[in-house]
Amino acid sequence: MPGCTWSAEILKSLPLLSELAEADFRRLLQTVRRRTVAARAYILRAGETPDGLYVVVSGRVRLVHQDPDGRALIAEIYGRGELFGEMGLMDETACPAHVIASEDCELVFIPREAAIECMNLSPVAAMSLLRTALTRLCKAHRQMANLALTPVYGRVAQVLVSNGHEIEGEWHVDVGSEQIAAMVGASREMVSRVLRCMVEKRVVRRVKRRLIVIDRAALSAPDA
């Protein structure tokens, strides 16, 4: 089937599918579909019931809670090899938030019936999906506590340290001010003030629109 080659490697690497018998895995490949999504496009909307599992092949997507006034909170960002849509598999639970492409993305879509068949065939697959759901539930509880108990400065510091990559010994942050504000539950104005403070303390610097963390240890220190 055209398209099997591109999806097989990444699907086989998922704990959810890694223990499937070869014949069962090949049958699954006949059902999957490739989906390309443009940056900022909605993949799922809050209130919709996911019709299967989605696996990120390239790019990143974000899970966004949004109120009627347009205020947003980014609850999670999924990248290559991560899945979403698991909540709707067993009891057709509606999606609690929007899932939006942060950039141009390629996704693998596994229809609901095929995903459920995988779990019926493999206890490892069922346990893997349960582990994913429980891990995300625990993370959501930590996020709620963080929003309630950690000052904005600390929340921004956590985002900077957790969302970046190293280039020649420097930590380049992958998200901008708007995304940071949505991730920490604060206004852009407040985040801008916090970032200016970090620049003044010389733990962060700006290069054009890019944020670079100079000293991750100092930034994460309680009295930074």
pLDDT 10s digits, 157-172: 999 998 999 998 889 9
Of the ranges 80-89, 118-127, 154-163, which is most confident?
154-163
d(CA 23, CA 36): 27
| pLDDT above 60 (res 6) | no
Say which residue, 64 or 90, is predicted with more confidence. 64
Query: What are 191-210's pLDDT values in tens digits?
Result: 999 999 999 999 999 998 89
Cβ atoms of 214 and 202 closer than 8 Å: yes
Number of Cβ atoms within 10 Å of the Cβ of 4: 13
| pLDDT above 60 (res 61) | yes
| pLDDT above 80 (res 52) | yes
| pLDDT above 80 (res 222) | no
As a whole number, mean pLDDT of residues 86-93 equals 80
In the chain, the domains with their CATH numbers are 4-147 (2.60.120.10), 152-220 (1.10.10.10)
Query: Closest Cα to residue 111, out of 169, 217, 32, 181?
Result: 32
Query: What are 63-80's pLDDT values in tens digits?
Result: 999 888 778 889 899 999
pTM of the model: 0.74
Query: Closest Cα to residue 35, out of 18, 63, 57?
Result: 57
Query: Closest Cα to residue 171, out of 139, 143, 190, 198?
Result: 198
**DSSP characters over 127-194:** HHHHHHHHHHHHHHHHHHHHHHHS-HHHHHHHHHHHSEEEETTEEEESS-HHHHHHHHT--HHHHHHH
Q: Taking all residues of the chain, what is their mean pLDDT, rounded to a whole number?
A: 87
* Three-point CA angle 162, 141, 219, nearest 5°: 30
Say what percent of the chain tops pLDDT 70. 95
Candidate from 57-61, 118-122, 164-168, 216-220 with smallest mean pLDDT: 216-220
Cβ atoms of 105 and 37 closer than 8 Å: yes
Amino acid at 31: T
Burial class (CB in 10 A: 0-12, 13-18, 19+), 198: buried
d(CA 118, CA 122): 6
